[in-house]
Amino acid sequence: MKVLEDRIRQEGLVLPGNVLKVNQFLNHQIDPDLMLDIGKEFVTLFGSQKITKILTVESSGIAPAIMTGLLLHVPVLFARKQKSSTMPGQLYSAQVYSYTKKTENTIAVESKFLLVDDHVLIVDDFLANGEAVNGLLEICRQAEAEVVGVGIAIEKSFQAGAKRITDQGVHLESLAKIASFADDQVHFVGEEV
Ligand code: G4P
Ligand code: NA
Ligand code: NA
């Protein structure tokens, strides 16, 4: 997706540890026009299939997810990372290991919001090792909901996540695919070097 790649080139900052900082438009300040463009792209890629719900995980997945849900007129459900006193009901949950923070977190949704007849499009901002998406897939399995696919804004293709998802037979689409951060520059998959 050219507009997203251009923004990453213009405003992305490569940090030590193969981390891309995009606080200008995604992870801190959010550009709603860009988020809407991302939502439109997910609708182009997945919209021919039946989708009844968008599923993401707080917090940075919510912006692209809500635009996708807006365009499809379906609810957007975000898994929570912290136990909430307003979530006393029955939960579907999964363990998500953060390689960047070296911590294990539980993500959870209330079971009443994910039903056996749901057709779920999973959306997230980043795909690195695939821990978050894997947890969301596990939650969908617990609900026996059908997963239509996974839409990612920025995939770090040199990490394990993409293979981990497609190996499960899940349809994955990533709008910007990063091949490497060699010389502290962002190199996209398929781009001439
Ligand atoms: P994984 O889910 O693909 O395994 O990712 P990983 O554990 O490596 O990363 C944990 C967190 O860091 C996730 O956000 C993920 O989206 C984010 N992340 C991974 N790589 C990058 C990167 O290169 N740049 C940026 N900006 N974020 C990255 P989170 O901790 O769940 O936080 P939130 O921002 O969604 O609240
Ligand atoms: Na994040
Ligand atoms: Na995220």
Is 102 known to sit in a ligand binding site? no
pLDDT at 99: 82
Q: Are strands 53-57 and 187-188 parallel, antiparallel or unpaired?
A: unpaired
Tell whether 71 is covered by a domain. yes
Residues with CB under 5 A from ligand 3 (ion): 60-61, 124-125
pLDDT at 89: 81
pLDDT at 77: 98
In the 3-class helix/strand/coil scheme, how is 135-157 assigned residue by residue? HHHHHHHHHCCEEEEEEEEEEEC
pLDDT at 85: 67
Tell whether 180 is covered by a domain. yes
Nearest residue to 137 (alpha-carbon basis) of 98, 164, 177, 174: 164
Tell whether 12 is covered by a domain. yes
- Which H/E stretch holds residue 94? strand 91-98
Helix (H/G/I), strand (E/B), else coil: 49? coil
CA 6 to ligand 2 centroid distance, Å: 20
User: What's the CA gap between 118 and 50, in Å, rounded?
Assistant: 9
**Among all chains, which residue has been given the structure tokens 């294990």?**
104
95 alpha-carbon distance from chain centroid: 16
Nearest residue to 122 (alpha-carbon basis) of 173, 70, 166, 159: 173
Q: Which residues of the chain have pLDDT under 70?
A: 84-85, 87, 192-193
* CATH number of the domain bearing residue 14: 3.40.50.2020
pLDDT at 193: 61
Q: How many domains, the chain?
A: 1
Tell whether 7 is covered by a domain. yes
Nearest residue to 95 (alpha-carbon basis) of 139, 63, 128: 139
Tell whether 24 is covered by a domain. yes
Q: Helical H runs in 52-160?
A: 62-72, 131-143
pLDDT at 3: 98
pLDDT digits (tens, 9 = 90+) for 33-47: 999 999 999 999 999
Tell whether 193 is covered by a domain. no
Tell whether 79 is covered by a domain. yes
Question: Which domain does 183 fall in, by range?
Answer: 2-188
Report the residue among 8, 23, 98 best suited for mutation to probe ligand 1: largest number of ligand atoms under 8 A from its CB: 98
User: What's the CA gap between 116 and 170, in Å, rounded?
Assistant: 18
Tell whether 118 is covered by a domain. yes
ipTM: 0.91
Q: Whose CA is nearest to atom 34 of ligand 1?
A: 60
User: What's the CA gap between 158 and 181, in Å, rounded?
Assistant: 10
pLDDT at 160: 97
Q: Are the C-beta atoms of 138 and 94 separated by less than 8 Å?
A: yes
